[in-house]
């Protein structure tokens, strides 16, 4: 059954949805993946670049054929033209020596028509005849992929039959809605060796194999979202995977190099999804989705999400351009600036789950806007939380509630009562307040302060730092802290607290990944805390993005 | 809710209607909450907050004190004898009565637990009035120990949760305080003092240099 499931997924996959599993397959075989294509208009005929265990550069062109056969017509009209540069042009990449000859591969999730098989043979014969015997096209077919994928995840299915139902449920999603983060997290957690007999750490090979197998499970589980080009869901999925990979390293204190390949590919997945989301936004004339009349009720929630994600992308992009990891592009910068400016007034604080979105937007907006707008933006979040959750209120759900879960209550259409009160408490207010204090607007802070002293500030402390990465920490662990501000309330003391920036509550390895941390709290908003956001604000400042 | 094992459980292939039963159970749970709330008395004023993660909880107060908040599962049980051979004769009212009894037991167990926590904390800080003084003196002494807030200059006075036999004594003592000029003067002085303390607390909410 499992083989059939895997085959079924592979048959339905387009080149983008099997690209990441393919990269993890390569990584598990000792290859170093150095480049993945975004699958946009800028493709250069080399979807994946890797260096094999012997140091030979390899270039791969991926083609989705829906489990069928690559026809001669498609070969001639589309693929053949891409194969020429794949074979005959130099690989331009900082990690690859351009003087070294490379191997070229065509990877398809199906078979070749007989005619195509002969055309490829003919092509390779001609290359040999012309003296280019080292420039032959090699082909990786569905059977090869399936064999590789199966080998990587045999243990998972044997040991986690319970999760098969979860996997199937995800596979059957229509892919247009919100990613079921709880289900995906459960799958990923089950696929990675967090619990082991005798508490014995897994070997390097076991780690590599489980991370690769888990990536295949992740990619195939979200394939309906990938096929629908639901970039936000893809972004969230790879962010969750990234977090769990870091969590696994923390659990067993693994050397960084053992998990680096997994982090690199997942990071690419996160960034590429944001980039594709930006591509889509650049092409769209409006931000309405689905039924326009009903969209009125969620429109601003979507805009807030998009502003947050584009905020992360814009900052990350700036950093990558500065470090030479990618080229700039004026039109994209202009779009991102205009997008932020045009929609900034539409942000909606629908719950504390939106606070990381506000802050991601704020972090970007302050880099493009020298006016007081950024101060107002941050101030409005504080004011919003105080008004909605202050004395006798309780209308702003805590960050454990996702938009789709809480909006029916906000809109007054949910008949089931909500047995949870949010009055007088907040998980995120302390962090936002500290960012505001850093802006040094003492008089405005004085206006807020009386109400701030009436609030209870919630935080979660983890028994083990790596628990931070889990969707929900294990039962019987964790410390829920409720803190009230204690007088005397002096500006000086508050400024000192707000200036602290060590981020000690974060797992130490998380602090190596500034943008990924921003992605994590935008995917798991309940992992937001004041300590982390102060650290992030400082790090962005140090990177010249403050 | 623990039902005795039914002999029919040995035949798991009979048609069942789990979704409908789950929906019914939701409705019953809601009813139980309402019944429990009705019996909760003064504790019904409290808010229901869900702790999503964490097995221990602490409260760090404004005065710097830290209190461990015990997270405790309260279990209650009630029994309803059901004859599985003639389930169709089981009265719906009996089913509801069972759940109502459970809700009452839960409300009582929660109240008992809350009183135990209060007693422990109150004894810890010494705010106990156990003298053999007359009731009006005990009341004034208790008020002196308490901290309360004011709205529009008027105190938000505490509620009394007492044994039914003690209730008339409290009512009598309160009447005495209001009718005796001397006791009223002392009561007013306590309220004035508390008002000052409240103002000081409010003033301390300001952000200073």
* pLDDT at B4 exceeding the cut of 70: no
The pLDDT, as a whole number, for residue A42 is: 46
A534, A434 Cβ separation under 8 angstroms: yes
The pLDDT, as a whole number, for residue A155 is: 62
Mean pLDDT on B107-117: 89
What pTM does this model have?
0.89
The pLDDT, as a whole number, for residue A519 is: 98
Per-residue pLDDT reduced to its tens digit, A413-425: 999 889 899 999 9
Q: Go through chain A and tell me how many residues it has.
A: 546
**Contact pairs from chain A to chain B, CB under 8 Å:** 95
The pLDDT, as a whole number, for residue B70 is: 83
Q: Which of A396, A478, A485, A524 to mutate to test the interface with B (most CBs of B within 10 A)?
A: A478
Cα(B133)–Cα(B146) distance, integer angstroms = 18
Query: ipTM surpassing 0.90, yes or no?
Result: no
B176, B136 Cβ separation under 8 angstroms: yes
Q: How far is CA A377 from CA A52, A441, B68, in A?
A: 49, 13, 37
For residue B181, what are its two tokens?
């000029």
Cα(B43)–Cα(B46) distance, integer angstroms = 6
Q: Searching chain A, which residue's CA lies closest to the CA of residue B27?
A: A416
Q: How far is CA B24 from CA A417, B4, B84, B94, B95, in A?
A: 15, 20, 20, 15, 12
| Strands A479-483 vs A456-461: parallel, antiparallel or unpaired | antiparallel
Chain A residues in contact with B47 (beta carbon < 8 A): 394, 421, 423
Q: Searching chain B, which residue's CA lies closest to the CA of residue A451?
A: B205
Chain B residues in contact with A489 (beta carbon < 8 A): 204-208
Looking at the DSSP bridge assignments, the partners of residue B59 are: A482, B67
Nearest to A420 among B26, B30, B50 (CB): B50
Chain A residues in contact with B50 (beta carbon < 8 A): 419-420
Taking the CA atoms of chain A, what radius of gyration do you get in angstroms? 25
The pLDDT, as a whole number, for residue A41 is: 45
Q: Searching chain B, which residue's CA lies closest to the CA of residue A492?
A: B209
Yes or no, beta carbons of A419 and B33 under 8 Å apart: yes
The pLDDT, as a whole number, for residue A104 is: 95
Q: Which helix (H) or strand (E) holds A59?
A: strand A57-63
What is the nearest CA distance from B188 to chain A, expressed in angstroms? 27
A510, A535 Cβ separation under 8 angstroms: no
Strand blocks (E) in A323-455? 425-426
Yes or no, beta carbons of B57 and A480 under 8 Å apart: yes
H helix runs in A222-298, sequence order: 223-227, 231-252, 256-283, 292-295
A151, A116 Cβ separation under 8 angstroms: no
Yes or no, beta carbons of B202 and A450 under 8 Å apart: yes
B6 pLDDT band (50/70/90 cuts)? low
Chain B residues in contact with A445 (beta carbon < 8 A): 207
B3 pLDDT band (50/70/90 cuts)? very low
Cα(B145)–Cα(B136) distance, integer angstroms = 14
| Strands A456-461 vs A425-426: parallel, antiparallel or unpaired | parallel
- Please provide the average confidence, as pLDDT, over all residues in chain B: 88
Yes or no, beta carbons of B56 and A478 under 8 Å apart: yes
Distance of CA B86 to the CA centre of its chain: 40
A183, A160 Cβ separation under 8 angstroms: no
What is the nearest CA distance from A490 to chain B, expressed in angstroms? 5
The pLDDT, as a whole number, for residue A187 is: 93
The pLDDT, as a whole number, for residue A228 is: 92
Cα(A397)–Cα(A349) distance, integer angstroms = 10
Yes or no, beta carbons of A482 and B209 under 8 Å apart: no
Looking at the DSSP bridge assignments, the partners of residue A459 are: A481
Cα(A143)–Cα(A120) distance, integer angstroms = 18
Identify the residue whose tokens are 């107060």. B61
Give the end-to-end CA distance of chain A in Å, rounded to a whole number. Answer: 52
Nearest to B208 among A422, A460, A490 (CB): A490
The pLDDT, as a whole number, for residue B1 is: 44
* Nearest residue to B80 (alpha-carbon basis) of B68, B94, B69: B94
Q: Searching chain A, which residue's CA lies closest to the CA of residue B68?
A: A481
To the nearest 10°, report the CA torsion of A103, A107, A112, A118: -10
* Nearest residue to A229 (alpha-carbon basis) of A16, A55, A408, A427: A16
What is the nearest CA distance from A402 to chain B, expressed in angstroms? 13
Q: Go through chain B and tell me how many residues it has.
A: 209
Residues 6 or more apart whose CB falls under 8 angstroms from that of A379 comprise A436, A441, A444, A448
* pLDDT at B7 exceeding the cut of 60: no
Q: Searching chain A, which residue's CA lies closest to the CA of residue B56?
A: A479
Q: Searching chain A, which residue's CA lies closest to the CA of residue B63?
A: A486
Q: Which helix (H) or strand (E) holds A508?
A: none
3-class SS string, A196-227? CHHHCCCCHHHHHHHHHHHHHHHHHHCHHHHH
Yes or no, beta carbons of A479 and B62 under 8 Å apart: no
Per-residue pLDDT reduced to its tens digit, B118-144: 898 889 888 898 888 999 999 999 999
Cα(A393)–Cα(A257) distance, integer angstroms = 50
The pLDDT, as a whole number, for residue A7 is: 85
The pLDDT, as a whole number, for residue A237 is: 98
Cα(B187)–Cα(A72) distance, integer angstroms = 99
A116, A75 Cβ separation under 8 angstroms: yes
For residue B134, what are its two tokens?
């007359």
Q: Using 70 as the pLDDT threshold, list the residues of chain A that sit under it.
A: 1-2, 39-45, 153-162
A307, A344 Cβ separation under 8 angstroms: yes
The pLDDT, as a whole number, for residue A365 is: 97
What is the nearest CA distance from A293 to chain B, expressed in angstroms? 31
The pLDDT, as a whole number, for residue B10 is: 54
Yes or no, beta carbons of A460 and B30 under 8 Å apart: no
Identify the residue whose tokens are 């098969």. A164
DSSP string, A376-392: HHHHHHHHHHHHHHSTT
């Amino acid at each position: 059954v499992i083989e059939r499931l895997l085959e079924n997924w592979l048959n339905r996959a387009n080149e983008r949805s099997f690209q990441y599993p393919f990269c993890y397959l390569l990584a598990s075989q000792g290859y170093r993946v150095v480049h993945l294509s975004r699958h946009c208009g800028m493709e250069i005929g080399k979807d994946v670049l890797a260096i094999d265990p012997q140091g030979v550069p390899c270039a791969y062109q991926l083609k989705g054929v829906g489990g069928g056969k690559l026809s001669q017509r498609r070969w001639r009209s589309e693929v053949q033209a891409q194969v020429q540069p794949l074979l005959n042009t130099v690989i331009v990449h900082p990690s690859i020596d351009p003087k070294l000859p490379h191997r070229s591969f065509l990877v398809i999730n199906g078979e070749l028509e007989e005619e195509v098989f002969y055309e490829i043979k003919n092509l390779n014969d001609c290359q040999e005849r012309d003296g280019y015997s080292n420039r032959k096209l090699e082909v990786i077919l569905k059977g090869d992929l399936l064999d590789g994928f199966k080998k990587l995840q045999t243990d998972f299915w044997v040991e986690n039959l319970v999760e098969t139902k979860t996997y199937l449920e995800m596979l059957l999603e229509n892919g247009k809605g919100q990613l079921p983060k709880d289900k995906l997290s459960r799958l990923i957690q089950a696929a990675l060796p967090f619990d082991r007999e005798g508490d014995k750490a897994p070997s390097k090979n076991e780690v590599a194999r489980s991370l690769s197998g888990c990536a295949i499970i992740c990619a195939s589980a979200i394939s309906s979202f990938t096929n629908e080009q639901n970039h936000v869901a893809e972004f969230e999925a790879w962010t969750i995977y990234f977090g769990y990979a870091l969590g696994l390293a923390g659990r067993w204190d693994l050397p960084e190099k053992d998990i680096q390949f997994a982090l690199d590919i997942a990071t690419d997945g996160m960034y590429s999804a944001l980039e594709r989301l930006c591509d889509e936004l650049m092409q769209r004339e409006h931000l309405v989705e689905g039924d326009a009349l009903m969209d009125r009720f969620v429109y601003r929630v979507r805009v807030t999400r998009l502003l947050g994600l584009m905020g992360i992308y814009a900052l990350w992009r700036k950093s990558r351009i500065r470090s030479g990891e990618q080229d700039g592009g004026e039109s994209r910068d202009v779009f991102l600036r205009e997008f932020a400016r045009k929609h900034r007034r539409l942000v909606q604080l629908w719950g504390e789950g939106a606070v990381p979105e506000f802050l991601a937007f704020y972090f970007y907006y302050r880099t493009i806007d020298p006016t007081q707008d950024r101060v107002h933006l941050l101030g409005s979040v504080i004011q919003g939380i105080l008004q909605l959750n202050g004395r006798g209120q309780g209308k702003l759900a805590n960050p454990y509630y996702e938009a789709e879960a809480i909006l029916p209550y906000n809109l007054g259409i949910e008949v089931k009562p909500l047995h949870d009160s949010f009055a007088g408490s907040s998980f995120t207010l302390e962090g936002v307040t500290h960012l505001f204090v850093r802006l040094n607007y003492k008089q405005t802070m004085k206006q807020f302060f009386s109400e701030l002293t009436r609030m209870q500030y919630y935080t979660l402390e983890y028994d083990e730092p790596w628990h931070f990465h889990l969707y929900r920490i294990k039962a019987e662990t964790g410390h829920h802290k409720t803190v009230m501000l204690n007088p005397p309330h002096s500006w000086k003391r508050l400024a000192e607290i707000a200036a602290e920036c060590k981020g000690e509550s974060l797992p130490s390895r998380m602090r190596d990944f500034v943008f990924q941390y921003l992605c994590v709290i935008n995917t798991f908003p309940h992992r937001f805390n004041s300590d982390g956001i102060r650290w992030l604000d400082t790090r962005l400042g140090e990177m010249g993005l403050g | 809710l623990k039902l005795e094992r039914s002999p029919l459980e040995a035949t798991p292939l009979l048609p069942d209607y789990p979704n409908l039963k789950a929906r019914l159970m939701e409705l019953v749970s809601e009813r139980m909450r309402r019944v429990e709330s009705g019996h909760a008395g003064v504790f019904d004023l409290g808010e229901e907050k869900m702790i999503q993660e964490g097995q221990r909880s602490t409260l760090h107060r404004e005065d710097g004190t830290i209190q461990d908040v015990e997270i405790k599962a309260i279990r209650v049980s009630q029994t309803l004898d059901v004859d599985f051979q003639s389930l169709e004769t089981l009265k719906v009212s009996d089913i509801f009565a069972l759940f109502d009894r459970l809700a009452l037991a839960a409300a009582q167990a929660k109240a008992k637990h809350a009183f135990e926590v209060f007693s422990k904390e109150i004894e810890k800080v010494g705010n106990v009035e156990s003298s053999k003084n007359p009731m009006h003196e005990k009341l004034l002494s208790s008020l002196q120990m308490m901290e309360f807030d004011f709205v529009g200059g008027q105190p938000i006075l505490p509620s009394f949760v007492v044994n039914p036999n003690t209730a008339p004594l409290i009512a009598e003592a309160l009447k005495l305080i209001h009718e005796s000029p001397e006791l009223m003067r002392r009561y007013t002085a306590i309220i004035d003092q508390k008002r000052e303390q409240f103002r000081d607390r409010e003033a301390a909410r300001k952000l200073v240099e």
